[in-house]
Amino acid sequence: MKKLINDPADVVSEALQGMAAAHPDRLRVDLENRIVYRKDAPRPGKVGLISGGGSGHEPMHGGFVGLGMLDAACAGEVFTSPVPDQMMAATKAVDAGAGVLHIVKNYTGDVMNFEMAAELAAADAGTEVLSVVTNDDVAVQDSLYTAGRRGVGVTVLLEKIVGAAAEEGRPLQEVADLAKRVNDNGRSMGMALTSCTVPAAGKPTFELAENEMEVGIGIHGEPGRQRLPLAPARDVAAMLVDPVVSDLPYQQGDSVIAFVNGMGGTPLLELYLMYNEVAQLLDRAGITVARSLVGNYITSLEMAGCSVTLLKVDDDLVRLWDAPVNTPGLRWGA
């Protein structure tokens, strides 16, 4: 196992220490509870936004804490949900009287622990909490970690759009309704060229031959729809775009945010090449790309591969997407 680590047991704690040291202007980090906070949270009158999940998907979620996105993110062990006590502490800390929205990816541990945290925060401090669960992955209905579809790339787009709405001072129910609308209008699918190695395991999660790829992979190394011979990028793009487009379905005349995400081990050279193939497929389908995002934003450690996310948008969603954001992982207009 070749990794830039000290002890596998200390990876998450030491990474959070590094995040605190790198971004003291934007973040404060509770190392004991493994919570990343926006430096100026809580902000009076603003709905607090919290997400979280297992580590190993960076920059999600801690890298999306800051102006225009999250107020706090809870970090679990690698590919392991945070515990309810973390989430409760974060919920209480960012509540400035306007309530708190939990943004939860559809993984069994995340959903259960966020539900418990909401109940505890309400009982302990009277905090009003609403939740939205993202479940945008069209690849499989159930997996090792979920009942129902997995939450993947739409989570990033949702955190940005809903973060902008909360920044405007919209009330909790309106922010939650917006989050549900974003989730309902987004779909994703991913693929892998290699596995990844969880530090505590010390060996790859699964094996792929040099001439194989896994289509429909999950972000924790869950198996996908099928294992196929390696194919050119144009064919891979079609394998991802076609199921996404047909699922909502997206139709001629729709406008979308098109998001090509790297899984951690794929260079931008290849991601932009993939985006070009995706853009051509969308153009032929009569779907307009209103905005795009290309890069490593929701990763699986060092896994090579990518995912495609499409979010159907209107003028209001585009305006919220364009609003200023200043986080370690996403920044413009600020």
Question: Annotated active-site positions, please?
Answer: 57, 220
91 vs 59, 134, 222, 296, CA distance in Å?
A: 21, 19, 30, 28
Cα gap 211→193, rounded to integer Å:
9
Cα gap 169→165, rounded to integer Å:
7
Which amino acid is residue 258, in one-letter code?
A
Which residues contact residue 284 at a Cβ distance below 8 angstroms, ignoring those fewer than 6 apart?
Answer: none
- 318, containing H or E segment: helix 315-322
Buried b (16+ CB within 10 A) or exposed e, 17-45: eebbeebeebbbbbeebbbbbbeebbbee
**CA torsion sign, 266 to 269 to 270 to 276?**
positive
Cα gap 55→64, rounded to integer Å:
13
Beta-ladder partners of 14 = none
